[in-house]
Structure 1
Amino acid sequence: MKSREKKQVTRVNTLLHGGDYNPDQWLNRPDILADDLKLMKLAHTNTYSIGIFAWSALEPEEGVYTFDWLDTIFETIHQNGGTIILATPSGARPAWLSQKYPEVLRTNELRLKHLQGARHNHCFSSPVYREKTQHINRLLAERYGNHPALLMWHVSNEYSGECHCDLCQVAFKEWLKETYNNDLAALNEAWWGPFWSHTFNSWSQIQSPSPIGEDAVHGMNLDWRRFITDQTINFYQNELVPLRELTPTIPVTTNFMADTDDLIPYQGLDYGKFAKHVDVITWDGYPAWHNDRESTADLAMKVGFIDDLYRSLKQQPFLLLESTPSAVSWHEVNKAKRPQMHLLSSMQMIAHGSDSIMYFQWRKSRGSSEKFHGAVVDHDNSPENRVFKDVAEVGKILESLSAIAGTTRPADVAILYDWENNWALNDAQGYGAKTKNYTQTVQEHYRTFWEKDIPVDVIMKDQDFSSYKLVVIPMLYLLSLETLSRLKEFVAHGGTVVSTYLTGIVDEHDLAHLGGWPKDLQDIFGINVVETDTLYPSDYNKVRYGEKEYELKEYASIVEVKQAEIKGEYLEDFYAHTPAITSHSFEKGKSYFIGGRLERSFHSDFYGEIIKELRLTPVLSVRHEKGVSVQARQSETEDTIFVMNFSEETQVVYFDQPVWDRLNEVELVGEVMLEKYAVKVVTVPLEDNSQ
């Protein structure tokens, strides 16, 4: 194994606390703006994202600029001891721009032109919009680039969506020509053109996917999604030109998202690719705490997964750029955080690698769609309500923990996640239409490590595998020969890999691998996957593994053993008593294959054995029951460990060695009571924390 190289980290020298501040909504209320400065002190906040949707306040008419209000805000926040994350305003256009230059409006997949309104509805290919956004960005950089309050650039906001206008059709064709080296025959091969007579003999014949045209060519659909990511990045890079030129030492970011209904990473863009173009990963986290679909611990596991994914994208701390101190306004049910949940959920973010707790929004808007969205300052303008006090408590604690800013933690376990794989698998017209659930499946493989307090990196397919002891690749349906070669090298040099059903089915163009399961996979796992069975919800099967039987649902790989050891077998159907779970020693390493989708208890038992075999250990041994999570950050001198109760009852935890309770300034050892939603933050010197 290679030793883990030290990563270059873009450091924030303290933990940030604050959020989206919209003084442009209150320019006619100087009393409100004055109150803000007082309340910022009381809330223990220090950083504010400003200007995100302020274009019409900065340029109310074309070429007419009103920066005086922003000048004042910069000065007053600076004098108040705060710093500013300054946004470029491209996320929402002023009406005059759409009226004069209608080419900036998006066209949807039905080829209908959007109207002015809402936000994030502009064409990324539009030369006019690129020129206008770059110009306003240059003015901002010239005016505020040297201001001591400027901490970071917040470029646009939550990039998303796609455009199918004529400009984007031209851009798509140019992207394809570059991707396929101007070789139309290569494109036809990659898209399997002869199917349904879809061979192109001119680039001009190609149009973006549409339900009123072509949307069943899977290679085209995959390339279109790749183009959307690249075109969005290209637009973002156009915004960066004056920022990099005039403020080369100021870091830049743009905020990533998560789909909140089931809390999975946003799927509209490949953030693995986008991450290479930002200095700091930031994301907007809005878990639906206290929902009636899942336990608090189940939701906390998903939050941990996304945190670990976004931290792993650059192997450095991330920033939580938006969250809510209470409720939001756009869930189906907008439930308030219960007492203690705001502190607990904030500490979870810090524990998994965030260097900030930032909110949308600082002050509730008086009107429009977000007037009831949670905020630090409510319509009552009072520091005495419960939510404001919760925020102030978090602020005080973040001040006491500021030394951990910039720290992270090493991991011996990596779980591979791939946006392109999810796009391709969801597009596949086979298996179960509603049961593929790639991201949810990856989260289930992550769960056991989270529950057992084992640090995990959630990595991309092009990241280095060599420093990990274990790499888990669930459902890697889309598998290129390049990725496969790197996995084979990882195992050959002593690594352990776990894979599952629906892995290695298609290549990077979404073309099926010919000749059966790829030979390198057969070598690594010592098996050949010859068939995949898809089950109805009413179908019944089980797998015997060790001394236990586990329920099988939805998918089962029918496996032919070549050299592998059979660890488990199916018990029902025509493949009864055939291999379901296998292991295989390949050169210096080892592989495991899980043939079917099995119940949660199987993962706990299976990965529990691997954890013992590979001697994977938590940063600190804390004995506890399910519902408690223990996560750590490591500096050069000590571990800071977060012991968090994500259950609705008091839990007993046991510290096997003395630790220092940072929040209460006392030593803890042995049995400690952890109340509902409570958190302990403890430290241990590194030399005292050997496992």
Structure 2
Amino acid sequence: MPLWYGGDHNPEQWPEEVWAEDVALMRRAGVNLVTVGVFSWSRLEPSEGRYTFGWLDRVLDLLADGGIRVDLAVPTASPPPWFSLAHPDALTVTRDGVRLTHGSRDTYCVSAPAYREASLRVTRALGERYRDHPALAMWHVHNEYGTPCHCDQAGAAFRTWLRERHGGLDALNDAWTTAFWGQHYSDWAQITPPRATQYLPNPAQALDFRRFVSEEMLAHFREQRDLLRELTPEVPVTTNYVLAGWASIDHWKWSREVDLVAVDHYPSGQGMAAAEQTAFAADLVRSWAGGRPWLLMEQATGYVLGPRMSPKEPGEIARHSLQHVARGSKGVMFFQWRASRGGAEQWHPGMLPHTGPDSRVFREVCDLGEALERIPTPPDEPVVEAEVAILWDEEAWWAVQGPGLPSAEIDYLAAAEQAHRVLWRQGVAACFAHPSHDLSAYRAVLVPSLYLISDEAARGLRAYVEGGGTLVVSFFSGIADEHTRIRLGGYPGALRETLGIRVEEFHPLAETVELPEYGRATVWSEIVHLDGAEAIARYPGGGPAVTRHRLGGGTAWYVSTRLDDRGYARVLAHAGLAGGGVPGVEVVRQRDRVFALNHTGDEQHVPVHGTDLITGKPVGGRLDPGGYVVVPV
């Protein structure tokens, strides 16, 4: 099967005479898969129980005749106006207690029974009508799950979830430390979602609510997935993740529930920063998939989340796409096929821009489609072998976003991105792992600001080091348990003995500090006492800043401040993780091929020789500025 190539197709936005033109242009571009119907609920069901499938029948028939398969969406991310009018109690309530009105997407409460029932009705209607359609390739449930609601219906579901998690009120009061500020609960009815309050909310309550949101949305997905599997047992079912701090989704858990892990990725940086972020996202999603199929479901032909909305530079569309394919994506998809002429995202870039097919962007889209036709689909098993793992735990990220921390500048995502970025620049292949995973296969494990950690995971990290592994831990790790309760006796709590140190005090930094040989230190510093470890770098006042502890057959490193990339790279080099990569030159080795991409504006040497699958030309160890090759090995 060839790599999937295409994007979101929204024919309902256009006159019917445009539909045939779309199919012809898709064929010209090499498109073989489109997502249809993500936001079409109001067109499919204009009033309760009355379905108008005729337009969708014609769209799917046109696509099938053109040899284009369909990722058919269940449109539950955008309930129609009639539903919102009939069920105002199913509209989203913010943490400030404001009930939102219809007028955008994602304006619903996933806990509202009326919404859940309506979701299943439209899912069944779509499944029964199109289960035998030749265009159907997969089901696409919802869109970018993650929007929370703080209404009373969500509160009732939250209390049910809390009973299952904690068992009784005594256990909950202990886990939430409700003795502080007189928050002790004597009846379940007293507990609400963490709405806006006078001052700081309870951090354990806030964290549990984010866990609940993930589980509640997963239950909504499962209901539709199970119905679709019943109707079409051979058709895979997925949903598209969004990589964003607001989305309360535990992707490790969710990835066990989907048939295909799918992700939307829009880098917030531009140029080289966008290439670094793309590699980070692709490695993260590949790790969530754990050797199972995954797909880049959305990206853009331009930058939409940066400081300005602008096209990508020539060649970037292909390079960003191939970064995902190199890491195992089953294809390359975009939002959207044809740029909208109206609506909230009318300036969102499209594969077919406002200027039409006579445009640089569409020519690059066609070139990419031709290139993808020449690259074999990667197998389902892991295609990139990595010796270094970066720990990733969404719950730890949520906790660091919580209230009342010693510094508002602690940024879990930035710490994880730095760890990956420095390895990427060194040409060191990396993957991500959960703290509870078996880490014994990795020669090194990086731990970026893992604020929360369970006792079991802490024991696992110690055993990993004792067994010969190299552990590099960043500041603000191991501090609290899974209920955000601080581990007493000195920081970094659960990792103190593994690291051979005891931190007496935190000293968040208001200005930059220079560390000899390690450069600039920002955001954070600590008073570190050695308890078996040795100091590798010191603060200007003489206290340890970077330490090394030999434990059993391995070594545990600790970085007590936020180093710049050069300083962090120096730590990794001392830990044996220096690579031979050239910054901006990406070489990803799969089992049967190697991808080489030059993100720089200069010609570069690469350790790659053979025949390029894309062009059929020989590769002699050099890459043109902005060039890329795929070579069998």
TM category (shorter chain) comes to over 0.9
- Kindly report which structure 2 residues correspond to 1:61-100, keeping only aligned pairs within 5 A, or say none: 61-100=47-86
- Kindly report which structure 2 residues correspond to 1:70-149, keeping only aligned pairs within 5 A, or say none: 70-149=56-135
CA distance in 1, matches of 2:369, 2:278: 21
Contact 1:111 1:165 (8 Å CA) reproduced: yes
Contact 2:147 2:247 (8 Å CA) reproduced: no
CA distance in 2, matches of 1:223, 1:241: 26
1:258 corresponds to 2:243: yes
Give the counterpart of 2:286 among 288, 301, 311. Answer: 311
Q: Partner of 1:142: helix, strand, or coil?
A: helix
Question: CA-to-partner distance for each residue in 1:543-592, whole Å, 9 max, x for gaps?
Answer: 34xxx2522222123222222233222222xxx2x322222222232211
Q: Partner of 2:524: helix, strand, or coil?
A: strand
Q: Which residue of 2 aligns with 1:218?
A: 203
Structure 2 unaligned regions, length at least 5: none
1:674 corresponds to 2:631: no
Q: Report the aligned-residue RMSD.
A: 2.1
Q: Which residue of 2 aligns with 1:271?
A: 251
| Offset, 1:624 | 6.0
Q: Partner of 1:523: helix, strand, or coil?
A: helix
1:651 corresponds to 2:603: yes
The one-letter code of the counterpart of 2:10 is N
CA distance in 2, matches of 1:250, 1:426: 38
Runs of 4+ in 1 over 6 A off after TM superposition: none
| Offset, 1:174 | 0.9
Q: Which residue of 1 aligns with 2:2?
A: 14
Q: Which residue of 2 aligns with 1:373?
A: 348
Q: Which residue of 1 aligns with 2:500?
A: 526
The one-letter code of the counterpart of 2:529 is E
| Offset, 1:308 | 0.8
- Kindly report which structure 2 residues correspond to 1:483-494, keeping only aligned pairs within 5 A, or say none: 483-494=457-468
CA distance in 2, matches of 1:610, 1:319: 34
Q: Which moved more, 1:34-43 or 1:599-608?
A: 599-608
Contact 2:521 2:564 (8 Å CA) reproduced: yes
The one-letter code of the counterpart of 2:510 is Y
Give the counterpart of 1:558 among 527, 535, 547. Answer: 527
| Offset, 1:327 | 5.1
| Offset, 1:130 | 0.8
Give the counterpart of 2:406 among 420, 431, 449. Answer: 431
> What's the % identity of the aligned pairs?
33
CA distance in 2, matches of 1:354, 1:240: 22
| Offset, 1:331 | 5.4
CA distance in 1, matches of 2:209, 2:189: 16
| CA 607–252 in structure 1, closer or farther in 2 if over 3 Å, else same | same
Give the counterpart of 2:332 among 357, 362, 373. Answer: 357
Q: Which residue of 1 aligns with 2:301?
A: 325
- Kindly report which structure 2 residues correspond to 1:426-465, keeping only aligned pairs within 5 A, or say none: 426-433=401-408, 435-465=409-439
- Kindly report which structure 2 residues correspond to 1:17-36, keeping only aligned pairs within 5 A, or say none: 17-26=5-14, 29-36=15-22
| Offset, 1:417 | 1.5
Q: Which moved more, 1:401-410 or 1:140-149?
A: 401-410
CA distance in 2, matches of 1:223, 1:53: 30
The one-letter code of the counterpart of 2:513 is N
Q: Partner of 2:22: helix, strand, or coil?
A: helix
Q: Partner of 1:591: helix, strand, or coil?
A: strand
- Kindly report which structure 2 residues correspond to 1:163-182, keeping only aligned pairs within 5 A, or say none: 163-181=149-167
| Offset, 1:162 | 1.2
Contact 2:465 2:551 (8 Å CA) reproduced: yes
| CA 557–660 in structure 1, closer or farther in 2 if over 3 Å, else same | farther
Question: CA-to-partner distance for each residue in 1:209-250, whole Å, 9 max, x for gaps?
Answer: 122467521111111111111111112222223112112222
| CA 678–353 in structure 1, closer or farther in 2 if over 3 Å, else same | same
CA distance in 1, matches of 2:453, 2:606: 44
Q: Which residue of 2 aligns with 1:541?
A: 513
| Offset, 1:519 | 7.1
| CA 288–205 in structure 1, closer or farther in 2 if over 3 Å, else same | closer
The one-letter code of the counterpart of 2:12 is D
| Offset, 1:33 | 1.0
Contact 1:477 1:505 (8 Å CA) reproduced: yes
Q: Which residue of 2 aligns with 1:601?
A: 566
TM-score by length of 2: 0.95
TM-score by length of 1: 0.87
Q: Which moved more, 1:355-364 or 1:515-524?
A: 515-524
| CA 289–485 in structure 1, closer or farther in 2 if over 3 Å, else same | closer
| Offset, 1:112 | 2.2
Q: Partner of 1:186: helix, strand, or coil?
A: helix
The one-letter code of the counterpart of 2:620 is V
Contact 1:172 1:227 (8 Å CA) reproduced: yes
Question: CA-to-partner distance for each residue in 1:658-688, whole Å, 9 max, x for gaps?
Answer: 3322233233334x2421x32232232xxxx
Contact 2:596 2:606 (8 Å CA) reproduced: no
CA distance in 2, matches of 1:520, 1:370: 47
Contact 1:78 1:149 (8 Å CA) reproduced: yes
